[in-house]
């Protein structure tokens, strides 16, 4: 299985602390050594890094950990390959355009071969993973149902959940999806989240000896939500999503 990491914030925020914990699981404290990737949104633009090598040893991952790239929305993924070779084109997160926005997707789990019987309407995979195929199918379904970007995303969120439920019937399907403003988090089996806001406290990573006092790093108005397959800290109260649950986050808050 792979692991996911996402962030939604109301102010430009770096994810260095959380990513420092996640990257250890990519061949260090965890077996997810078959590549990693991360996407940061700056407005509608997306700054992306991909590497088919283990994140724990990656110089690119070290750059991401040490360089505070500020963003409102982030999606990251570390891979343990099940379907598809270990190569750059099979490294999450994947991206496609819709409504003039760059959509980013990452998946944790494995889907049955019946997935590949689902017809693709517009988008087609570059690599050979079940994850990218599922993304192409899902975004094609959204494109057909919503030819134009809706003003209200409530119906879109319901539609995405319905399609995620269909994918979940084919195996393990946990995913993060965004178009830069809304972060959709679907739990098929395992996904947790926490929101940091005033009054802030200290957080300690599980996978390495690193602590942050967020009182010193934030303002009282900051709201930052972090989503992860497995909680990254051992002294904070994470909320486990229920199987089949989808939560949409905007500027750090669930909608």
Helices (H), 48-95: 59-66
Q: Which of 54, 180, 165 is nearest to 105 (CA)?
A: 180
CA distance 226 to 192: 8
- The residue to which tokens 């988008």 are assigned: 123
C-alpha 194, offset from chain centre? 14
- Whether 2 sits among the annotated catalytic residues: the reply is yes
Helix, strand, coil tally for the chain in percent (to 5): 25, 35, 40
Contact between 17 and 210 under an 8 Å Cβ cutoff? The reply is yes
Q: Which DSSP string corresponds to 100-163?
A: TEEEEEEEES-B-GGGGGSPPSS---SS--HHHHHHHHHHHHHHHH-SS--S--HHHHHHHHHH
CA distance 226 to 15: 9
- Catalytic-role residue among 2, 136, 164, 187: 2
Residues involved in catalysis: 2
């Amino acid at each position: 299985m792979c692991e996911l990491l996402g962030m939604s914030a109301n102010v430009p925020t770096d994810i260095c602390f959380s990513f420092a914990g996640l990257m250890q699981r990519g061949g260090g404290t965890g077996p997810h050594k078959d590549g990693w990737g991360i996407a940061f949104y700056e407005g509608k633009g997306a700054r992306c890094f991909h590497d088919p090598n283990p994140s724990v040893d990656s110089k690119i991952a070290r750059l991401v950990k040490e360089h505070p790239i500020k963003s409102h929305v982030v999606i990251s993924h570390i891979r343990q390959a099940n379907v598809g070779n270990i190569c750059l084109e099979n490294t999450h997160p994947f991206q496609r355009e819709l409504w003039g926005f760059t959509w980013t997707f990452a998946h944790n789990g494995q889907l049955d071969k019946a997935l590949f019987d689902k017809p693709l309407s517009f988008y087609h995979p570059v690599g050979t993973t079940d994850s990218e195929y599922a993304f192409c199918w899902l975004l094609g379904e959204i494109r057909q149902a919503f030819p134009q970007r809706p003003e209200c995303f409530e119906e879109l969120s319901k539609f995405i959940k319905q399609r995620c439920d269909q994918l979940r019937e084919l195996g393990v399907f946990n995913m993060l999806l965004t178009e830069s403003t809304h972060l959709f988090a679907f739990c098929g089996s395992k996904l947790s989240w926490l929101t940091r806001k005033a009054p802030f406290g200290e957080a300690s990573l599980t996978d390495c000896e690193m602590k942050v006092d967020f009182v010193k790093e934030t303002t009282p108005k900051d709201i930052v939500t972090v989503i992860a397959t497995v909680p990254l800290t051992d002294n904070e109260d994470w909320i486990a999503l229920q199987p089949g649950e989808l939560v949409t986050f905007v500027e750090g808050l669930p909608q």
